[in-house]
């Protein structure tokens, strides 16, 4: 914590599986859109409002306790991924973090980077920009190799790694199908070939267990507005300390220096040649989103209370209850046959005579919030969703299908 300053207090709440008491204003009675944007809990709002109140009352005087609060948040986030707080950087979101890391990599002309077809653009666009700027060669592989019914196929990945690659970038969970890729095995193969592993974890952290050491991850980024249930514009990144130290700080700002604010307190301290921090928090180069990170801590506090492993099991029970009945209604499940490849996301291809977008709109009129990436119907429940919702959701599906079919 910041010396001499106490962080703002954590909210006195109890988060319980299947209980949405902390969401008293949420309108949809079945909110299945956590893979898109999560609603803010009252715990997050309490933290947001107390941070806003502190700033309203104290102005600059509110900065030290909020800074201490952010240090505590880093400890909680690090615990969620099996890392250390000093290796965490608070950033606006996944794309911003990966863009900064891509810009700061010590690339050499002719380096190769392995990317995957069908990935969310947040984990493709930043790396493609780096290929253009630094003469790096992109190599695309099919993500479907990891979702085969008979198990992951590593043949193409092994061949690409054997040809030489500086970095492999992949999402822990695929946004369309919910496929959880075999990160530990991918990480092992990357290490064997001297290839670094960068992971977009926005569809995983908070709902899927992640261990950066066990999975061999070198860089990880996650926005806070999905499974962490925080606000947009407040996320985090992590890097192994030796990897962060090797980055070229091309995106450093004035707050990236060691002791960046001492010149605001003492005379004769204004210098531009002070060293930059060598851990990933050099990415925190400007004024922080204090209110956003306060709200994120309130949200993550609830997740830490329950535990990610318990949340994951709860979501799988919800999915188990809904998947078979949806198939009986003519939907084709995209759920991975292997339980180890599943996540918080469950999607279906709709019946041939209907569009997923129209089904989603019809469900929305009945109080069920869901989404439709690439024409699939996507349900993404989280810890507040009760198992008792499932029969009611299926009833809403029946009504929606009857309405759309006239």
Name the one residue in this structure whose structure tokens are 């891509």: 102
pLDDT in tens, 164-184: 999 999 999 999 999 999 999
pLDDT at residue 384 in the model: 98
Q: Which residues contact 30 (CB under 8 A, 6 or more apart)?
A: 367, 368, 369, 385, 389, 392, 393, 396
Alpha-carbon distance 129 to 132, whole Å? 5
Q: Is residue 25 situated within a structural domain?
A: no
pLDDT at residue 183 in the model: 98
Question: Taking the model in full, what pTM does it have?
Answer: 0.96
Mean pLDDT score across all residues of the chain: 96
Does 220 lie in the same domain as 124?
Answer: yes
pLDDT at residue 8 in the model: 85
The CATH number covering residue 390 comes to 3.90.1150.10
Mean pLDDT over 253-260 rounds to: 93
Structure tokens at 332: 């084709």
pLDDT at residue 1 in the model: 41
- The full 3-state SS of the chain, as one line of letters, equals CCCCCCCCCCCCCCCCCCCCCCCCCCCCCEECECCCCCCCCHHHHHHHHHHHHHHHHHHHHHHHHHHHHHHHHHHHHHHHHCCCHHHEEEECCHHHHHHHHHHHCCCCCCCEEEEEECCCHHHCHHHHHHHHHHCCEEEEEEHHHHHCCCCCCCHHHHHHHHCCCCEEEEECECCCCCCECCHHHHHHHHHHCCCEEEEECCCCCCCCCCCCCCCCCCEEEEECCCCCCCCCCCEEEEECHHHHHHCCCCCCCHHHECCCCHHHCCCCCCCCCCCECCCHHHHCCCCCCHHHHHHHHHHHHHHHHHCHHHHHHHHHHHHHHHHHHHHHCCCEECCCCCHHHCCCCEEEECCCCCCHHHHHHHHHCCCEECECHHHCEEEECCCCCCCCHHHHHHHHHHHHHHHHCC
pLDDT in tens, 61-111: 999 999 999 999 999 999 999 999 999 999 999 999 999 999 999 999 999
Does 271 lie in the same domain as 194?
Answer: yes
Does 192 lie in the same domain as 231?
Answer: yes
Alpha-carbon distance 158 to 170, whole Å? 15
Assess whether pLDDT exceeds 80 at residue 190.
Answer: yes
pLDDT in tens, 257-293: 999 988 988 888 899 999 999 999 999 999 999 999 9
pLDDT in tens, 28-65: 999 999 999 999 999 999 999 999 999 999 999 999 99
The count of structural domains within the chain is 2
Q: Is residue 114 situated within a structural domain?
A: yes
The CATH number covering residue 99 comes to 3.40.640.10
Tallying the residues shown for the chain, one arrives at 406
pLDDT at residue 6 in the model: 85
Alpha-carbon distance 27 to 3, whole Å? 43
Alpha-carbon distance 372 to 355, whole Å? 9
Name the one residue in this structure whose structure tokens are 């066990």: 214
Does 244 lie in the same domain as 161?
Answer: yes
Q: Is residue 16 situated within a structural domain?
A: no
Structural domain span for residue 358: 308-404
Q: Is residue 291 situated within a structural domain?
A: yes
Q: Which residues contact 365 (CB under 8 A, 6 or more apart)?
A: none
Q: Is residue 160 situated within a structural domain?
A: yes
Mean pLDDT over 355-370 rounds to: 98
The residue among 260, 278, 303 that closes a domain is: 303
Does 294 lie in the same domain as 319?
Answer: no
Q: Is residue 389 situated within a structural domain?
A: yes
Does 289 lie in the same domain as 153?
Answer: yes
The residue among 273, 303, 333 that closes a domain is: 303
Mean pLDDT over 236-262 rounds to: 95
Nearest one of 9, 7, 48, 8 to 229, comparing CA atoms: 48
pLDDT at residue 7 in the model: 87
Does 192 lie in the same domain as 92?
Answer: yes
How many C-beta atoms lie closer than 10 Å to residue 134's C-beta?
16
Q: Is residue 279 situated within a structural domain?
A: yes
Q: Is residue 60 situated within a structural domain?
A: no
Mean pLDDT over 374-378 rounds to: 97
Do β-strands 167-171 and 112-117 pair in parallel, antiparallel, or remain unpaired? Answer: parallel
Alpha-carbon distance 73 to 22, whole Å? 20
CA–centroid distance for 72 within its chain: 19
Does 258 lie in the same domain as 150?
Answer: yes
Assess whether pLDDT exceeds 50 at residue 3.
Answer: no
Does 399 lie in the same domain as 334?
Answer: yes
Percent of all residues in the chain with a pLDDT value above 70, rounded to a whole number: 99
Structure tokens at 355: 């569009």
The residue among 258, 280, 303 that closes a domain is: 303
Does 251 lie in the same domain as 141?
Answer: yes
Does 346 lie in the same domain as 299?
Answer: no
pLDDT at residue 2 in the model: 43
Percent of all residues in the chain with a pLDDT value above 90, rounded to a whole number: 95
Alpha-carbon distance 91 to 247, whole Å? 17
Does 316 lie in the same domain as 346?
Answer: yes
pLDDT in tens, 113-154: 999 999 999 999 999 999 999 999 999 999 999 999 999 999
Nearest one of 171, 157, 183, 187 to 124, comparing CA atoms: 171
pLDDT in tens, 208-222: 999 999 999 999 999
């Amino acid at each position: 914590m910041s010396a001499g300053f106490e962080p703002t207090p954590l909210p006195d709440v109890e988060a319980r599986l299947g209980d949405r008491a902390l969401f008293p204003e949420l309108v949809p009675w079945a909110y299945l859109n956590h893979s898109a944007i999560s609603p803010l809990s009252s715990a997050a709002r309490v933290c947001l409002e107390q941070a806003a109140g502190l700033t309203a009352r104290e102005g600059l005087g509110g900065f030290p306790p909020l800074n201490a609060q952010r240090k505590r948040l880093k400890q909680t986030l690090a615990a969620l991924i099996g890392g250390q707080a000093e290796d965490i950087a608070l950033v606006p979101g996944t794309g911003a973090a990966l863009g900064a890391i891509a810009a700061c990599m010590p690339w050499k002309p002719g380096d190769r980077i392995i990317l995957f077809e069908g990935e969310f653009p947040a984990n493709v666009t930043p790396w493609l920009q780096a290929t253009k700027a630094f003469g790096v060669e992109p190599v695309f592989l099919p993500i479907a190799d990891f979702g085969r019914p008979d198990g992951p196929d590593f043949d193409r990945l092994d061949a690409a790694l054997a040809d030489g690659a500086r970095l492999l970038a992949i999402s822990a969970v695929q946004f369309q199908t919910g496929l959880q890729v075999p990160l530990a095995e991918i990480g092992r193969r990357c290490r064997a070939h001297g290839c670094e592993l960068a992971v977009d974890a926005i569809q995983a952290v908070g709902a899927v267990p992640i261990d950066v050491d066990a999975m061999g991850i070198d860089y990880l980024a996650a926005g806070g507005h999905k499974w962490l249930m925080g606000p947009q514009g407040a996320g985090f990144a992590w890097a192994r300390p030796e990897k962060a130290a090797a980055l070229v700080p091309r995106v450093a700002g004035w707050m990236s220096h060691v002791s960046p604010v001492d010149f605001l307190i003492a005379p004769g301290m204004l210098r531009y040649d002070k060293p930059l921090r060598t851990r990933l928090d050099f990415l925190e180069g400007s004024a922080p989103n204090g209110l956003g990170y306060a709200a994120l801590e309130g949200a993550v506090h609830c997740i830490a209370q329950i535990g990610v492993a318990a949340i994951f099991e709860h979501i799988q029970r919800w999915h188990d209850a809904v998947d078979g009945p949806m198939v009986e209604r003519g939907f084709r499940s995209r759920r991975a046959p292997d339980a180890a490849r599943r996540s918080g996301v469950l999607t279906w291809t709709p019946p041939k005579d209907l569009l997923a977008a129209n089904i989603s709109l019809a469900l929305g009129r009945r109080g069920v919030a869901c989404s439709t990436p690439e024409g699939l119907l996507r349900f993404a429940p989280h810890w507040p969703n009760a198992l008792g919702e499932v029969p009611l959701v299926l009833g809403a599906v029946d009504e929606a299908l009857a309405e759309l079919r006239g």
